[in-house]
Structures are given as C-alpha cells and as structure tokens.
Chains A and B, each alone.
Chain A
Amino acid sequence: MIRLYHIVKSYGDRDALRDVSLHVEKGELVYVTGPSGAGKSTMLKLLYGAERPTSGRMLIAGVDVAKMSRGQLPALRRNLGVVFQDFKLLPHRSVAENVGIALEVIGAAPDSIRRRVPAVLNIVGLKGREDDKAGVLSGGEKQRVAIARAIVTDPAILLADEPTGNLDGAMAVEVMEILQAINLRGTTVVVATHDVGLMDRFPYRRLRFVDGRILGGGAQAGGRR
C-alpha cells in the first residue's frame, strides 16, 4: 500500500530524512516512532503531500506521489485520512459540520452526509453530539471528531500524527482503541508516536526513526504482532 524507496528530504543543509525505504502492506497498522526531530512528522507530511521529497520514489497505492503536481494533490488527499496532534478542527462549527466537511469536499449529496456523519460519530463514541460546537469539547472528544473526519470518506489509508500527544493516559488509550478498530475494518493505519507505553499496550510493527534514518530497516512487512 505504501512503498518508499531511498527517500531523502532536506531543508537547506539539514537532512530531515536520509535514504528512507519502507513498505507498509494493505491492512497493516504500523507505528512511526523515535525521538523528537527524528523525522516522524516529516515522513507523514511526505505521505499526505504537505512536503515533497528531495529525492527518491514514494508510491501510495501504486501512484508515485513524488511526481504529483500541486493540482493532483487533492485527489490523493481524498483517499487518505489524516489525524493531527492539534486536531485541526473549526471551533465555531458543530461536530457534524467538522466531520461533514470531508464529505462536502468529495461532492457527497446532503442526504448522504446526513446519514454518514452520525454513523461515523457512533464509531468514535460521539453519538448524539452532532450539534455540539467543536470548541467546547474536551481534548479526547476533539481527537475523536478529527478521527471521524478522517475516516468518514472510507479512506484506504489513515495517517495519524501524534494523535495522542495532547491527551492524558486514559484518553490516549481510547483513541488508540478507535484506531485499532478502524484498522480491523481493513484500513491501513500509520501512527506517528513516541509514546512507548501505548505502543507496548497495542503492539504493532514499529518503524523507529533516529536522526532521519530507520533503524533496522523498514522494508519488511510486519503485519500485526
């Protein structure tokens, strides 16, 4: 599903990623881990097209993302779900509007949006909270809304950049359980995190980044542990 070959990403003289090659199979859940500044977030940004690699090939579902023009990126992103550490929600909009925005962008009919949003909110445990403003929710609830927005279009891949970084332990476990459930439905999930305790509790293959490189190589498919 995701194949990176000798990816290098440089910012001026500094290399954020150095010769990174990795494979993530369809339906797999993997962690991208490592200390701060190791290149976790940079790698996820490359995957959803927020950054371009300096060199190397990057295939997502067989398409070379590195060669995509700016105008082709929206099509890629409509097939990806992305969850951010800072949620990236519109605080003055309702939960339903925040989730529905991803469906509006792909041109879903209003009826379809009205049906689909409550169903997804049910999956993330926010049933009945459609009309609440996103700004008044707790951190854990906001992250659930962000996850709901990421999966409402049924993407093949879900990318989560430090999804539990702003949450306490119990909330982090709840969010991880949701991501696990989504993975069990067949979605490929990539989670960037440095929370070792969480990774130990939910053991999946780890791609450990240190100083822009993957320790031990990332090319082997791991599947679920």
Chain B
Amino acid sequence: MKNSIFHAVRGLREHTYLAVVGTGVIAAALVLLGGYAMIVTNLGAVVSGWKRDVHVSAYFVPGQSPEAQEAARAELALRPEVELVELVTSAEAQVWMLERVPEVQPIVEELGEGALPASLEVSLRAAYTSPVALDAFAESLREGGHFAEIDYGREWVERSSAFLHTLTILGVALGGMLVLAALFLVGNTINLVVYARRDELEILRLVGASDGYILAPFLVEGALQGLVGGGAALSLLYGVHALVVARLLGGVPLALGEGGLAFLSPVAAVGLAALGVSIGVAAAGFSVRRFLSRLA
C-alpha cells in the first residue's frame, strides 16, 4: 500500500497537467451533479411544503347542535390520518369572514345568524395527503352524515403530487445520466493518462509486475483525484450557494420553506465526495485494465 501511494503521488507529480485536467473533470461533473441535487432537493422541499399544507374543510349540515359538532371533532381527532382538527363555529366563521372581506358585511347581516356554516378544519399527516388517500378520507366523512360539504382542493393536490412524481423520476434519470457522463469523461481523461504512461506500464509488465501491482497506484491516483475533485466541487457549490443566498435571493420572497435555499445536507455532501472518489477509482480501474488486457 505504501509503495502504491508513493507511486501514485509520483505519477501525479510527473503528469501534473493531466492530473489537473482529470481532477477538474471530476470536479466539473460533481458540480453539475451537486448543483442538480440541490435544485431537486429544494424543489422537493417546496412541493413537500405544499403537501404539508393540504387542508380539509368539512362543513356541518345546518342544525347540528354544538355538542354534536364537538363530538364529531373529538371522533375525528382520534383518526390516524388526522394531525390536527379544529372546530370553527358559525359565529367564528362569520368573524373570520368579516375580518378578511368586510365588503360582504351587508350580505351576512341580511342572512342573519348562521349565515356561514360551522366547520371542522382538518390538517392531515403527510402520509395521507395523496389524492387517493384524500378521496378516501373525504368519502368517509360524507358517509357519517354530519357534513354537507367537504372541501379539500383535490385538483391542487393532484397537480402537486404529479409534479413531485415527475421531479423524482427526472431526478433519478438525469442524476444517473450525469453520473454516466462523468464516468465517461473521467474515463477518457484517465485514458490519456494511461496513454502518456504506456511505456512505463509496458516496462512494468515486462519485468514481471502483476496486473494488481500496476493497477494499484492508478486506483490510488483515481481516489486522490476524486477526493480533491469532490472537495473542489463542494467548495464551489458552497460558494455559489452563499452568493445566491446573500446577493440574489435576499429580497426575493420564494416559497422555499423556513430554511430558505438549502445547501446539500451533510450526508449528501459526504456522498458527493464519496461519489467523486468512486468515479475516480472506477474510471482508473476501467481504463488501466483495458490497456493491460492489450499487453502480453
């Protein structure tokens, strides 16, 4: 291992230009991948926020007593889908409406007490916010006979769910394509390194070096390049993220949740660096093995 590290470091020093190009290609690929991951993560957070806001309003049929309304609320609060349920009486609804839309006051006064129906305002747990689950929940409320109308913005939920689904598929597909493209680019760069060192490889083979002996320093080189490339990519991404947050998004209200524009999570950052190392090692292994297979 010590010998492999020594030869790897010497190889990098002897072929500095190619080493820098290889590291740069890895870094560029990881910047693309990391940047894309950040976009997908933030968009996913936005859509998840939309899903968290899924809200069901169940309007009581007229004539329900306050006790019956409270009993319905208590019953609903016990259901596993329900995160929070609040009873809004007819009077509270009227106050709420007049506070927000004062223009409707004459109409409300003309209709008198009970112009607006009492309702239960239900927040659902995230796991129960799919269109199918919402439909099932609304249907179960209708069957109870307490409610005249159930309102939950089904179209909005369907659209946000479809968007999140598409985003996930695109994320996996484009992410996979970026990894393959990175492997291809890094592999071709390391092919150049191998070509530049073909005499050395041939001589090593002729004096009795095994494939493993020849391959090991290249794998170490690939790992080092991947690590440096990963570090450079993370630094660049972090810098761009800080710049965007500080300069561009400072005054722009974006629905990005409480944390604003999020950087990669620590796990994703470590994963990106590990991916850099993996790409470096895999590309080096593939290129050198392919070259060695042509040697006797």
A58-117 interface with B by 8 A CB criterion? 71, 73-78, 80, 82, 88-90, 92, 101-102, 104-106
Interface of B is mostly: helix
- Chain B nearest Cβ from A37, distance in angstroms: 20
Number of interface residues of A (CB under 8 A): 24
B296 touches A50 (CB 8 A): yes
Interface residues of B, count at CB 8 A: 16
Q: Taking the complex as formed, is A213 at the interface, i.e. its CB lies under 8 A from any CB of chain B?
A: no
A51 close to B206 (CB less than 8 A): no
Question: Are B208 and A90 touching (Cβ within 8 A)?
Answer: no
Q: A50-B296, A101-B207, A106-B208 are in contact. Are A90 and B213 (CB under 8 A)?
A: no
- Partner of A77 from B14, B200, B207 at Cβ < 8 Å: B207
Indicate whether A144 reaches chain B with its CB closer than 8 angstroms. Answer: no
Whether a CB of chain B sits under 8 angstroms from the CB of A149 is yes
Specify the main secondary structure of chain A where it touches its partner: helix
A144-175 contacts to B (CB < 8 Å): 149
Whether the Cβ atoms of B203 and A49 lie closer than 8 Å is: no
- Contact string against B for A residues 26-59, beta-carbon threshold 8 Å, 1 for contact and 0 otherwise: 0000000000000000000100111100000000
- In the complex, the answer to whether B206 meets A48 with C-beta atoms within 8 Å is yes
B14 touches A102 (CB 8 A): no
Contact A49 B296 (CB under 8 A): yes
Cross-chain contact B208 with A75 (CB below 8 angstroms) = yes
Whether B203 and A90, one on each chain, are in contact in the complex, defined by CB atoms closer than 8 angstroms, is yes
User: Across the interface, which residues of A come within 8 angstroms of B202, CB to CB?
Assistant: 88
Asked whether any CB of chain A lies closer than 8 Å to the CB of B209, the reply is: yes
Docked pose: A71 CA to B3 CA in angstroms: 21
A74 in contact with B203 (CB, 8 Å): no
Q: With A104-B3, A105-B213 in contact, do A90 and B200 touch (Cβ < 8 Å)?
A: yes
CB neighbours of A89 from chain B (8 A):
203
Contact B208 A149 (CB under 8 A): no
- Per a CB cutoff under 8 Å, which of B14, B204, B211 touches A101? B204
B199 interfacial by beta-carbon distance below 8 Å: yes
| Chain B 181-225 near chain A by CB (<8 Å), digits 1 or 0 | 000000000000000000110111111111101000000000000
A71–B209 CA distance with the chains assembled, in angstroms? 10
Contact A102 B208 (CB under 8 A): yes
Q: How far is the CB of B18 from chain A (nearest CB, A)?
A: 14
Are A90 and B210 interface neighbours, CB within 8 A?
no
Closest Cβ of chain A: how far from B288's Cβ, in Å?
A: 15
Q: Which residues of B contact A149 (CB under 8 A)?
A: 207
- Residues of A bordering B, CB below 8 Å: 45, 48-51, 71, 73-78, 80, 82, 88-90, 92, 101-102, 104-106, 149
Give me the interface of B with A, judged by CB distance under 8 Å.
3, 14, 199-200, 202-211, 213, 296
Q: Please give me the 5 A-B residue pairs with the lowest Cβ-Cβ distance, nearest first.
A: A78-B208, A77-B208, A50-B296, A102-B207, A105-B209
Selected A-B contacts with CB under 8 Å, 26 pairs: A45-B296, A51-B296, A71-B211, A73-B296, A74-B208, A74-B209, A74-B210, A74-B213, A75-B208, A77-B205, A77-B207, A78-B207, A80-B208, A82-B206, A88-B199, A88-B202, A88-B206, A90-B199, A90-B203, A101-B203, A101-B204, A101-B207, A102-B207, A102-B208, A105-B207, A105-B213
